[in-house]
Amino acid sequence: MDDFPIDKIQISGATLASLLHRSSSSAGDLHGYLFGHATVSTPNPLSDHPTATTTTSLLAVTITSFLSLPSHLPLPPPPSPTNSAALLGWFSSRRKTPLRPSLKDTTTARSLTSLASRAFTPQNSTLSLSPSIFLLVTTPFQDQLIHTHEYKAFQFKVNAFEPKSLNIVNIGPSFRSQYESFSPNVQFPMMDFELRGSNAMVEDEQGESLADRKKQLRDQKQLDTCAEGFDVGRLSKLMGSEAAYTGELEDLYDKMLAKIDGLSKLVEQTNAKVLEQENHNMRLRCRVAGLE
């Protein structure tokens, strides 16, 4: 396996928040595996000077999920890497300990990096990398109200831990370069774009057929799944040279946020009902077992 240095370690804010929440809500220390993907890219810097510049390949590793269990239990055999989520390394969550790897972490690192069957290949590359990422989470020695956790990333290389910076990827303009190519997940209905005159509305009213009405109803139903209450005719106005983007887009975003808020409340209510049913089932099991 290639001992290739990792240039960037990334983790989404949601994944890091979930890991910190799991660490704070557990009864004791935790450890587990980290999963994600790696990409080798060659940056192409833009310059006004025609001088030749040498470009080097950069290896970026992105942590997308984790698997945790109490530290007093041994780590199970790591799963084999897949195309969607490879085994990047492991993590350890300890309380009131120094923010540095321990001898146990070194033993775990040597065991994981020596497993050739757990090696993975980054995108756009033929390298074979071992799961060498280590993420350490600790709590301060003194109890604090706001500062509750500290974390640090490492790469295990040549029987030693090398500190690495950990980039937290969030949503926003400053993080747009993290996503490279972007394809939306929300599927809006396809709108037919035509160059029409000022009397296009009259032509539509006169030439509207039954098939057109069915298509409009189908498109409206599809649009309601993304932004309920936004007319499909207004969506078609966002196309063309005379499109009024500002007002229409702001209203579209408001409708989309209202739809997401409604779905979130529905999920919250469903989770509450599921929890209530689980508690009811637990009481029934205790009653059958004679524990009440």
Q: How many residues does the chain have?
A: 292
pLDDT of res. 176: 53
Highest mean pLDDT among 26-35, 108-117, 124-133, 167-176: 26-35
pLDDT of res. 197: 43
Nearest to 137 by CA among 8, 7, 15, 36: 15
Q: Residue range 57-80: average pLDDT?
A: 84
pLDDT of res. 2: 53
Contact criterion met (CB below 8 Å) for 13 and 139: no
Q: Residue range 143-168: average pLDDT?
A: 84
Nearest to 252 by CA among 180, 191, 170: 191
Report the distance separating Cα 190 and Cα 114, nearest Å. 52
pLDDT for 70-126, tens place per residue?
988 888 887 766 666 788 999 999 988 888 999 989 998 888 888 777 778 777 777
Segments making up each domain of the chain, as ranges: 8-178, 215-292
Residues 6+ apart with CB under 8 A from 267: none
Q: Residue range 176-196: average pLDDT?
A: 57
Percent of the chain residues past pLDDT 70, beyond the cut: 75
Q: Residue range 288-292: average pLDDT?
A: 75
Task: Please check the confidence at residue 148 and state whether its pLDDT lies above 80.
Answer: no
pLDDT of res. 91: 94
List the CATH code of the domain at 8-178.
Answer: 3.40.140.10
Task: Please check the confidence at residue 138 and state whether its pLDDT lies above 70.
Answer: yes
Q: Which of 8-17, 108-117, 127-136, 236-245 has the lowest mean pLDDT?
A: 236-245
Q: Count other Cβ atoms within 10 Å, centred on residue 234.
A: 16
Tokens of 193: 């774009």
Q: Residue range 60-66: average pLDDT?
A: 89
Per-residue CA distances from 239 to 122, 221, 233 (Å): 39, 20, 11
Report the distance separating Cα 256 and Cα 229, nearest Å. 9
Task: Please check the confidence at residue 212 and state whether its pLDDT lies above 80.
Answer: no
Q: Give the global pTM.
A: 0.55
pLDDT for 10-19, tens place per residue?
998 888 888 9
Please give the mean pLDDT across all residues of the chain. 78
Q: Which of 10-19, 175-184, 204-213, 247-256 has the lowest mean pLDDT?
A: 175-184
